[in-house]
Amino acid sequence: MKKIRSVYAELLPGVLIPLGAALIIPLVFIAAGSRYPAGTLQAFFLGPWSNTWFLGNTLDSMALLFTASLGAVIAFRGGCFNLGCEGQIYMGGIAAAVLLLKADFLSGPISLVLAALGACLTGGIMGAVSGLLRKKTGAGELITSFLLAAALIPAGDYLIAHVLRSPGVNLLATDKFSPDRVLPHILPPSSLSVSIIISLALVFLFHFFIHRTAQGYRFRITGLAPDLALFGGIDSGSYVVPAMACSGALAGLAGFFAVAGTYGMCYQGFSGGLGWNGIAMALIAGNEPLILLPAVFIFSSIRAGADAAMLQPGFGFETAAFIQAAVLLLAALPFGIRYLKGKGL
């Protein structure tokens, strides 16, 4: 227990300090780029928590990011790099949408469970394929996962635009799901659903697995030191496929949460960089599940604040997007420094 606390105590400052310092960036940009700095600053810091709609939407974005980043953490912990999270989220959400739209013979709750399983299975298969290619042929999962996702995303776009598209509307999207086929919402009229509870439970569950179970220890040691694991009689190669499959399954689950919880339908490009943000959060958190909690909270708050400030006069969309990019770069800086030191540069 003391060892676990020391690990988190060592990692936490590396998350809080850069993300805290990143708050200075909005202050500079707002002061320099807004015609009404006082109102814009108020919107930035208080906007995400000002009413149930903003609060719920901020928490909902955290739920999606918790799930996506946990999937990336699992791959990293297993000694893999899943670069296909974006495509796994996208295809998982599309698979869930197909089941929610077409499984009319099932009741609402059963269709939701089936859609969640279908999303996890879709993302899991995509991840497992890359894991199998690495295990059987030595092909790097970083490249294969990215290429597989890059190949399937246009196929998903085609399905939404032509096969699943709702007729008579300009939006490239499916029909809205019936009320009994969406996740229960917690803070209406916001998009927050029970996905926030499930995602938090998954974070704590994986923390318990890797730090409290013998199998989790073997899984962790194969990712940290595969040669040492082999010396100790642990076949590190046996964890590659499960790590990639579980990573992809969680990415697919994030896609299910997006379509069945956040949007109530599936539209083209709904993943919107969620997979890439999930990878960034995993790296920033040092691949520790509980460190995801403050990392995702701070990043989502800054992002929601930038979106709220964007509604103020004289504060454009480009400025808000640049703030989010600068925050990510600054927050990832400690990871880059550690990597360069490890390489002796």
Output the domain CATH number for residue 323: 1.10.3470
In-domain check, residue 202: yes
Closest listed residue to residue 243, CA positions, set 74, 119, 70, 120: 74
- pLDDT by residue for the chain (345 residues), tens digit each? 555 555 555 556 656 666 666 667 767 766 666 677 777 778 888 888 888 998 999 999 999 999 999 999 999 999 899 999 999 999 999 999 999 999 888 888 999 999 999 999 999 999 999 999 999 998 989 999 999 999 999 999 999 999 999 987 788 999 999 999 999 999 988 999 999 999 999 999 999 999 899 888 888 888 777 777 677 777 777 889 999 999 999 999 999 999 999 999 999 999 988 999 899 888 888 888 998 998 898 888 888 887 777 777 666 655 556 666 666 676 666 666 665 565 444
Give the number of other CB atoms < 10 A from CB of residue 100. 28
Beta bridge partners of 185: 193
In-domain check, residue 139: yes
**Phi, psi values for residue 172, rounded to 5°:** -80, 85
In-domain check, residue 187: yes
Give the number of other CB atoms < 10 A from CB of residue 149. 27
> Which pair of structure tokens corresponds to residue 333?
């800086």
Distances (CA, A) of 307 to 91, 314, 340: 27, 13, 34
How many structural domains comprise the chain?
1
- Give yes or no for a contact between 315 and 22, defined as CB atoms under 8 angstroms apart: no
In-domain check, residue 206: yes
Which amino acid type is present at position 131? Answer: G
Half-sphere exposure of 165 (CA within 13 A, CB side): 15
**Per-residue pLDDT at 1:** 55
In-domain check, residue 172: yes
Give the number of other CB atoms < 10 A from CB of residue 336. 11
In-domain check, residue 208: yes
- Give yes or no for a contact between 174 and 97, defined as CB atoms under 8 angstroms apart: yes
- Give yes or no for a contact between 263 and 103, defined as CB atoms under 8 angstroms apart: no
In-domain check, residue 309: yes
> Which pair of structure tokens corresponds to residue 201?
């439970």
Domain holding 294, by residue range, is: 2-336
Give the number of other CB atoms < 10 A from CB of residue 18. 20
In-domain check, residue 134: yes
**Per-residue pLDDT at 294:** 86
**Per-residue pLDDT at 345:** 44
